[in-house]
Amino acid sequence: MRRPLILALTGVLAAGLLPAVAAAEPEGGAAPGGPGAHPLWLPAGKTGFGGSRDQASNVWFTLHSGQLSDVYYPDLSTPSIRSLGFVVTDGKSFAATDADAKFEQVRRTSPDGLTYEQTITDEKKRWKLRKTYVTDPERASVLVDVDFTSLTGKPYQLYAVLDPDLDNNGTDDSARTEGDTLVATDGKVTSALAANPAFTKTSNGFSGTSDGATQLLKSFQLKSYDTAGKGNVVQTGQLAADGLKSRRATLSLGFGEQAAATAKASLKTGFGPARKANEAGWRDYLRDLKDVPASVAGKRDLYKASMLMLAASEDKLNPGAFIASPSMPWQFGDNGPGWLPSGTYHLVWPRDLYQIATGMLAAGDEGAAQRSIEYMFTKQQQADGHLAQNTDVDGTPYWTSIQLDETALPIVLAQQVGIDAELWPNIRRAADFLIDYRGPNGQASPWSQQERWEEQDGYSPSTIASVIAGLVCAAELAKEHGDAASAERYLAKADEFKGKLAEWTVTTNGPLSDDPYFVRLTKDGNANNGTVYNLGNSSYDADQRAVADAGFLELVRLGIYAPDDPVIRNSLAVVDKEISYTTPTGQFWHRYTGDGYGERADGSQWEMELPPGSRQTFGRLWPLLAGERGEYELANGELGAAKRRLRDLGRVAGTGDTMPEQVWDENAPSGRPGFPTGKGNQSATPLAWTHAQFVRLAWSVQEKKVIEQPAAVRCRYLGAC
């Protein structure tokens, strides 16, 4: 799904609404029209995500809608470039952009690397533009190899258009031309765009008024301005390539105090050598892992891509800090009140980090798991022992709600991987918090201020499962570190929670089945009460007994309930009836009954502050839930079914091997084409959790068991020691 042309390139909705560039304005000098249009980040459905393995290159890029999209620098919590796109014109009768082209192909050029190629073909068959992207492993720069071809035998003009949003804020940048290089800065971050052959003409302007794209789309001509600022600036450079006599060019986008020198140094190195070195670094990484499992036959490239993207999601300046996604979906990318600078998905969640680390551990990257544990318990842990809901990569808390699973699951990981003695006091504080926590009205653990979907408080089966497992694993660590009293306390509380679990979360009189089943959560700890709550995200009020969610499968995955338990089996029948849908790519599930976290009915973006009960937004299908179902099926001895889940999970990836948070469901937006059921929407893509689930399920299928199930928990509650 593409956004309107001008929005995709300059952040405004329609060229007809833009003020005309004054014809009498002389070239050179300062650009008029500041501060420019309100900056918006591009949609979150990224078709590519690239970076370097080398620590010297703390820059990452994404692709979207035919162009380079969010570029992150100096860390993975800080997007600093909105887009780098191209305009093609004959100078007199038309101008077209790569972002608006209907024919786009995206691919990774090597299964062992994160080099991407975009091929854009003009709808009217006038030109073709192939762009190949890679980061320079020796420095903070992105290189773009450009191959521009005229398909008519006529020469054309090709312009590169860069939209900086430096330091995650596009409202306070300034821009200038230094020689043949375009430089932008906000006082904290500086970027520079250079070309080889050098730009033949440059201009700096304000988005939507005097920027180069606006000029070219209106008049097919570029007026040069030397400077622009302070505001939402856009920079334009004309390339020497005309599509006939000259087809090739290289762009270099550098960052840092000496951004221009960095960009020029990468140009001097050259695209080919930089690409070779980048891909060698990733091949070395893959070589140190286990061999690709036979379970992913036919999806070997996607498996490798998943491992590469997971590894690339780790910040260079903060080891162990893996972000959830290099994207800003929906309202999170609007930079509106409360969202500037943008946050959310390019943050570190302890829960997502647990999922990432277990996936990487399964593939043989024990170092990533160890760094993750160290990060969570030294950077994300708070003074009272709990781990923050999410943080910037440097460990600064962003949102501050309490989610007990985000404190419990890291303990499970720590016990499975092992810890040094120095970390045991941190683990003990976390386990003590799980027991001693009280909500704002005195609610006792395992009541949680938020469950794993971060939208409701109460007693959640998935959260309670993680707390029980976390306490049992903490007891094992306590024994190892000579703290028998703590071990006894943790086990007693875990047993108590398991004993009360059914009362809290299993209804025997609910409307979805005549037999007992797990509900999504209860507000009051009594699953037979008809307590009503609003589901959030513009959704309706619901009886807590009428809301299904497959989160209870965590009880099986973590070794607390047997897979053939009658309540588990009946609950599966309920969720399959209530929240599953079979698409052309496979059977997937909504998060829960009435979920509203997703696009509107017409496919436009989700927004947070919509009237309760208005039902304006609809949560779509989550592929990672198929991975969780596959793990259950393995625990239940259904290897063939688990293999099918792995197959289906692999089918949702795009051509650039990015896997989404959500895919389109049974309700195609307004019945219009362009929203293929079972393929990614504009949710966070790539989502590291989805890639990690794919990798983890691949190894579970390979080994015919749930590989991350903690043995201590399984032994205690299932007797399988």
Catalytic residues: 451, 454
Residue type, 578: E
Distance CA 587, CA 218 (A): 47
Packing angle of the helix pair 366-375, 404-417 (nearest 10 deg)? 140
Q: Is 410 exposed, middle or buried (0-12, 13-18, 19+ CB in 10 A)?
A: buried
Q: Are 92 and 3 in contact (CB under 8 A)?
A: no
Distance CA 677, CA 581 (A): 10
Other beta carbons within 10 angstroms of residue 557's beta carbon come to: 24
DSSP for 110-122 reads -TTS--EEEEEE-
Q: Are 213 and 136 in contact (CB under 8 A)?
A: no
Tokens of 601: 């009915």
Three-class DSSP labels, 191-250? EEEEEECCCCEEEEEECCCCCHHHHHHHHCCCCCCCEEEEECEEEEEECCCCCCCCCEEE
Distance CA 86, CA 88 (A): 7
Q: Is 639 exposed, middle or buried (0-12, 13-18, 19+ CB in 10 A)?
A: middle
Chain-centre distance for alpha carbon 66: 19
Packing angle of the helix pair 271-287, 259-269 (nearest 10 deg)? 90
DSSP for 610-678 reads --TT---B---BBTHHHHHHHHHHHHTT-HHHHHHHHHHHHHT--TT----S-BB-SS-GGG-SS--BT
Distance CA 307, CA 311 (A): 6
Distance CA 550, CA 578 (A): 10
* Maximum Cα–Cα distance across the chain: 84
Residue written as token pair 């409701």: 456
Three-class DSSP labels, 417-439? HCCCHHHHHHHHHHHHHHHHCEC
Q: Are 263 and 178 in contact (CB under 8 A)?
A: no
Distance CA 239, CA 200 (A): 6
Instruction: From 308, 301, 254, select the one nearest 144 (Cα to Cα).
Output: 254
